[in-house]
Chain A
Amino acid sequence: MAVFDLALCTLILLAALAAVAGPGLFRAVVFFVVYGVLIALAWVRLGAPDVALAEAAIGAGLTGVLLLGAVGRLSRAGADEPLTSRIDWPVALAAGLVGAMLVWAVLSLAPGPGLAPAVAEILPQTGVENPVTAVLLNLRAWDTLLESVVLLAALIGLWPLARGGAWQAAAGPVHHALPDGVLAGFGRLLPPVALLVGVYLVWAGAYQPGGAFQGGTVLAAAGVLCVMAGLVRAPGMAAPLWRLALVAGPGLFLALGVAGMAFGGFLLFPTALAKGMILAIEMVLTLSIAVTLALMVLGPPEGGGAQ
């Protein structure tokens, strides 16, 4: 496997170089996606399948789609001049310096086991069997609650960019697709499968890799596909139900966290109820994450009209 690892490292470096150093925005984005997939593979090799799933879904998939969308908008606005392959020396120097420092630090580290053994020890009290889920939803639930709100903040940050200030209008541009075309076909075929996979990822997260963020990304992809295939209209923030879907996950998380005060502390899930509470939070959080991510990919309203 050493050969595989060496090849993987080389490919990661080459993809990264091609993404930042080559001319052309589109090319850079494509190499960025390749880089994300390779990094996901690296996480698998490092024995961190949870991170690999998140990297593939969010790092490569979602970010790639967002960047491709940005390139598309730039070219429609006539602003996608081909980048020259000129190197920005001050930035390169700073990045090289930070890189060298990190390499030195990693080489001179003698990493201990960290907190993994301690987590394994108390795992039965957390209500879930997957240590990653235990850390995210129980031990460090305060982090995850704030993270779920970070996502919401990112979406709200798009609203001031809505055309004409109409942030409540339908998200993104109007999508047209041939009713019998490939896109519409996929739009009918994939969403049911994606729904199954998404819900499975959340459910499985209790005892094996998976969870709300990964499941939410798959559901968001299905939703975006439906909109882009012209099968459903993009949601708009004028509808109270969509706004509720955005805040339901973090809202339930916060509410159950405050309810935990009755059991002795903020975000305290008693062992007997922990599994049910965590699953409830994960399910609703998945919905909110899916809607938030889908709206982010669709982009700020561009005067599409329908709600």
Chain B
Amino acid sequence: MTPLIALLALPLAGALMAVAVPHRGARIAGVVVVASAGALIMLVAQWGIPHAAPGGWGAPLGIMLEADGLALAFMAMVLAVMAGVCATAAPMRELPTPFWPLALLAWAALNAIFVSRDLFNLYVGLELLTLAAVALVATGGDKALAAALRYLIFALTGSILYLAGVVLVYSAHGVLDVSLLAATLPAPTDRVAMGLMTAGLLIKTALFPFHVWLPPAHAAAPAPASAMLSALVPKASFVILLRLWFEAMPDAADDRLLTALAVLGALAVGHGGIMALRQTRLKQIIAYSTVAQIGYLFLVFPLAGGDGAAQPWAAGAWTGAVFQALSHGLAKAAMFLCAGLWIIAVGSDRLEDLRGLARGLPMTAMAFALAAITLMGLPPSGGFTAKYLMMTTAFASGQVVWALVLAGGGLLAAAYLYRPMGALFAREIPAFTPVPRYLQAVPLVLALLAVGMGVLSDGLYAFLQLGRPGTAEEGL
């Protein structure tokens, strides 16, 4: 078995086994984590673009799978988050058994989406991811049902819009493969098709104003599920957006549309930040912070390429957006896992109940602080590298307004993250249930990885250029 196929087959096989042998769910997930790590290390060590054609047909009749730098980096981030999620979820007895097959199915769907080059296969992956994610929200019990149902309705609306677009693409071009589509002549219906697919994916990515389903769903789910939902799930539809606009149909782009996407992103940064400031429960703050952080990703559409030809050193916005998605994933997972441990420790995630908890659980407070540094975009974190790359492009190409959004969003993040930090480091000694040290170490490792992305950004930057589309440098 090639490592690429192993990365797809392992979580799927694990999910099926976790249904057949439910009381061994945690152990099965552990095996999948270890084996996937081995496969991933082999792939990264090859430093190339492995691909596969299931069935041996290849495009256009079959489906092409390709693990470029983007796909591998996201699969690595997912692996790190899933390892953390599994480590903290395993000892949680109140977590219902169906959590394990659902988590593994979501993982399988994420990997399938990251490597897929086929628009319809991407739809199937999205469906699997959506259903698993909605069910993960529902594992939060009766109080989470309304949020799960609302999420389901939004997500299915997104699915149908995306599918309608795929149908139009196939009717007009007769192919579904991203690379083949890039080589076809534009059709008059491309704008409508891209509009429908983009609208569907925006709903699933929870970009403002389609974000209303996200905060209640992410806050109501059990903490390990929230970590997956916030850190991983919206990234899949964002990666599809990158594939569509930068690889499949860059010709369909026009400046007004690109600006509109970035304006929505800027509004998300502002709205998410202000709403996060007004919450009193930690999980709500973290969930609204996701709304804000997703906003940055959409600045890539007008920024990418910058002034490409004249200043090639300033063409890093595409890579910057990918850095943002990856570092946010790691940092957000760390934060939700911290919240989960604090709920175990004090039985609540209200800010006033968390006062002084840094003394009781110092490692988790450290993890939260490091994750906060990434979300604020302070050096030397991955979030800083992301903002640095995007800001460089913004200034070099004269689009200063997006630089202001990046800077203002950082200030807002500092403001809304100061409140939980202030509570944690208050000079009080609270009563709390002790949490084992190895559990406290899990979010710390994830937060350190998010910071490490900035420290070791050279290698990751070079890796992300493997298979990077030309439009990322030239702009749309």
Chain A residues packing against B (C-beta within 8 Å): 98, 101-102, 104-106, 108-109, 111-115, 118-119, 122, 138-143, 145-147, 149-150, 152-154, 156-157, 159-161, 165, 167-168, 237, 240, 243-244, 246-247, 250-251, 254, 257-258, 260-261, 264-269
Contact = CB atoms under 8 A, between A and B. Distances in A.
A105 to B, nearest CB: 4
A138 B55 CA distance: 7
Contacts of A142: 54-55, 63, 65, 121
Contacts of B195: 101
A220 to B, nearest CB: 18
Contact of A118 (B60, B164, B170): B60
Contacts of A258: 1, 5, 9
Nearest to B175: A115
Contacts of A118: 60-61
Interface string B50-80: 0011111100111101000000000000000
A167 B22 CA distance: 11
B2 interface: yes
A225 to B, nearest CB: 25
A154 B131 contact: yes
Interface residues on B, range: 35 or more
Contacts, number: 167
The SS class assigned to the A binding surface is helix
A139 B62 contact: yes
Given A140-B63, A153-B102, 17 more contacts: A98-B161, A98-B196, A105-B189, A115-B175, A118-B61, A140-B62, A149-B105, A149-B108, A150-B128, A153-B105, A153-B132, A156-B105, A156-B135, A157-B135, A246-B20, A266-B54, A267-B55
B145 interface: yes
B13 interface: yes
A265 B54 contact: yes
Contact of A157 (B1, B102, B125): B102
Given A112-B174, A115-B174, A254-B16, A265 B134 contact: no
B138 A160 contact: yes
Contact of B5 (A102, A114, A261, A264): A261
Given A98-B161, A161-B138, A265-B52, A243 B96 contact: no
A278 to B, nearest CB: 11
B236 to A, nearest CB: 13
B465 interface: no
B12 interface: yes
Contact of A153 (B97, B135, B171): B135
Interface in B387-422: none
